[in-house]
């Protein structure tokens, strides 16, 4: 009569023979797959150090991620109109750009002269700060009348508004700022 202990020892003896001969049939990775090595004692210490560093880096990343997106929640919704100084009529095309040296927010000018500023998309707001303002793409398209000749463009505003250094338009945005109306001169 065979005892459970005897069965285990026979099974262990078979496993040892199979490992000594090579890998069992059907194991395509060879004898190396059947062997299990134990790491040296010092590797446990380095593994725990690596684990600590990974966790620390993960926590730092999570905190920075939260801080960045928490800062994005403090945006101010800023809107306004762009009109001409001579008759008060609206500028009907273009893009208003707000630049503080790090962030460039923009707002497309609609046909009634209104705009709403956004950093990622239109009207999502702008972080508080001091911005230099410029207006680009304020031009009227003049069709050429031919399919082979591209259209030309007529500037609607003075060239100084195309660059934030020459436009002399600045705005300090804080939580109380809701509107920034802009008055521009016509192109000469």
Model confidence pLDDT, tens digit, residues 22-40: 545 555 555 555 555 555 5
Model confidence pLDDT, tens digit, residues 136-149: 999 888 888 888 88
- Look at residue 77 in the predicted model and tell me its pLDDT: 92
The pLDDT-based confidence of 81 (bands split at 50, 70, 90) is: very high
What is the C-alpha to C-alpha distance for residues 92 and 111, in angstroms, rounded to an integer?
A: 4
- Look at residue 70 in the predicted model and tell me its pLDDT: 45
Measure the CA dihedral 78/172/164/95, to 10°.
0
User: 128 vs 143, which has greater pLDDT?
Assistant: 128
Least confident of 48-57, 67-76, 105-114: 67-76
pTM comes to 0.59
Residue owning tokens 């399919």:
147
User: 71 vs 125, which has greater pLDDT?
Assistant: 125
What is the C-alpha to C-alpha distance for residues 38 and 166, in angstroms, rounded to an integer?
A: 71
Q: Which residues contact 135 (CB under 8 A, 6 or more apart)?
A: 82, 91, 94, 95, 96, 97, 109, 157, 161, 162, 167, 182, 184
């Amino acid at each position: 009569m065979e005892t459970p202990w005897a069965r285990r020892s026979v099974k262990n003896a078979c496993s040892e023979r199979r490992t000594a001969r090579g890998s069992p049939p059907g194991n395509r990775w060879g004898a190396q797959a059947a062997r299990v090595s134990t790491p040296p004692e010092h590797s446990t210490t380095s593994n725990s150090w690596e684990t600590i560093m990974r966790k620390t880096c993960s926590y730092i990343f999570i905190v920075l991620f939260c801080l960045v997106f928490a800062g994005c929640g403090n945006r101010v919704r800023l809107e306004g109109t762009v009109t001409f100084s001579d008759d008060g009529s609206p500028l009907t095309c273009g893009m208003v750009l707000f630049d503080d040296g790090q962030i460039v927010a923009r707002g497309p000018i609609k046909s009634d002269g209104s705009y709403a500023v956004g950093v990622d998309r239109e009207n999502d707001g702008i972080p508080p700060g001091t911005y230099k303002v410029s207006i680009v793409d304020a031009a009227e398209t003049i069709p050429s009348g031919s399919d082979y000749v591209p259209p030309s463009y007529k500037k609607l505003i003075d060239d100084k508004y195309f660059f934030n250094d020459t436009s002399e338009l600045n705005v300090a945005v804080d939580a109380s700022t809701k509107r920034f109306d802009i008055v521009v001169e016509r192109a000469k």
